[in-house]
Amino acid sequence: MTPPTDKLIQMYRQMLAIRLFEERVNDLYTRALMPGLAHLYIGEEAVAVGICAALTNEDYITSTHRGHGHCLAKGASPRLMFAELLGKEAGYCKGKGGSMHIADPATGNLGANAIVGGSAGIATGAAFSAKYLKNNRVVVCFFGEGALGQGLLYEEMNLAQLWKLPVIFACENNMYNEYTHFSETTAGDILGRPAAFGIAAEAVDGQDVRAVHAAATTYVERARRGEGPAFLLLNTYRYRGHHVGDIAREYYRPKQEEQHWSSTRDPIMLMSSWLLEQKHADQATLEAIQAELTSEMDAAVDFAVNSPYPDPDKVGQDVYA
């Protein structure tokens, strides 16, 4: 079933917001305004947006080191995101978490995690709570295909299926475990892994936000009905390097491959063409969205750049609740 026009436009808008956000992260990082590391989500926007559009605000997500897109798609404010990325007091975590640890109870974001696969337990535990407390919530555990190498994931998949917990394991296969093609690290058929636990699983074109949304809706609602977890394999592509500084990439993947994905498989381009073709929107509407988001993102960057750093006296706060 095709979602209503406003929902389709909203998904387009959200993908574009993530793209514009990440382009500014790249800029801030290369201008040395952002400390640490920046793992960009550019190219993968349809995954976070399609899935989060199938969730309520009360539903939970866990995210990854490449998590800006998940957090924004779940409703995070770009201002507070940028502030956190720059290590500012106004940021989501008061500057204590940074790019890889954005967390926000108000939008059901249990936190981004810098241990690959590290949030599988948290997501499954949140799903356990949802079942125990009967609050009808669903949890999405985002992880990259690199996490397929972590044992914890399989312990959690076993527990989730055993206890029919409402958790969706969303495997974003962007094809590269850092600087290594996943075929060099991953034996057998990926979908055979959830199948071994009896978990409902499906491969989805991760560049097609409508396909992602449709699949996510099916399995989220199934989980909400108490029918247990699901595993979505979202085939996508990381346009940029593992992190912003990963520029010379030809030793692990050809430029043509990158060009192929960005010129023919771009999720934002695919969606805008479809919206225009199906007359859900005209060019002027899409341009207005772009203009609006551009000024919103620029203002958010200004806010973050001009925000103060936390007072060093606060370093010892929040260690214990």
Partner 1 sequence: MPETATSVREISFGEAIREALAEELRRDKTVLLMGEDVAEAGTTFKVLKGLVEEFGTDRIIDTPISEAGFAGLGVGAAMTGLRPVIDLMFGDFLTLVMDQLVNQAAKIHYMSGGKWKVPMVLRATMGATRRSAAQHSQSLHAWPSHVPGLKVVIPSTPYDAKGLMKTAIRDDNPVVFFEDKISYTKVKGPVPDEDYAIPFGVADVKREGRDITLVGTSSMVQVALGAAAMLEDIGISAEVVDPRTTWPLDEKTLVESAKKTSRAMVIDEGYFRYGVTGEIASVIQEGAFYDLDGPVRRLGAMHVPIPFSPSLEDVTVPTERDVFELARKMCNK
- Please report, as ranges, the residues that interact with partner 1 according to CB under 8 A: 60, 62, 91-97, 101, 103-105, 110-111, 113, 115, 118-130, 132-133, 135, 139, 151-152, 155-156, 158-159, 162, 317-321
Closest CA to 65 of 146, 164, 1: 146
Least separation in angstroms between CB 292 and partner 1: 29
Closest CA to 206 of 235, 170, 230, 238: 235
Least separation in angstroms between CB 306 and partner 1: 20
Cα(210)–Cα(203) distance, integer angstroms: 14
Closer residue to partner 1, CB minimum distance, 53 or 167? 167
CA 182 to chain centre: 19
Cα(161)–Cα(159) distance, integer angstroms: 6
Amino acid at 250: E
**Cβ–Cβ < 8 Å for 47, 234:** yes
Cα(32)–Cα(140) distance, integer angstroms: 33
Closer residue to partner 1, CB minimum distance, 126 or 190? 126
Closer residue to partner 1, CB minimum distance, 198 or 254? 198
Cα(92)–Cα(78) distance, integer angstroms: 10
Closer residue to partner 1, CB minimum distance, 43 or 95? 95
**Cβ–Cβ < 8 Å for 236, 172:** yes
Cα(120)–Cα(197) distance, integer angstroms: 15
Query: Around 139, how many Cα atoms within 13 Å sit in the side-chain half-sphere?
Result: 30
Closer residue to partner 1, CB minimum distance, 132 or 179? 132
DSSP-derived letter for residue 104 is B
Closer residue to partner 1, CB minimum distance, 33 or 114? 114
Closer residue to partner 1, CB minimum distance, 5 or 317? 317
Least separation in angstroms between CB 124 and partner 1: 5
Least separation in angstroms between CB 133 and partner 1: 6
**Cβ–Cβ < 8 Å for 196, 34:** no
The 10 Å CB-count burial string (b at 16+, else e) for 58-74 is ebbbbbbbbbbbbbbbb
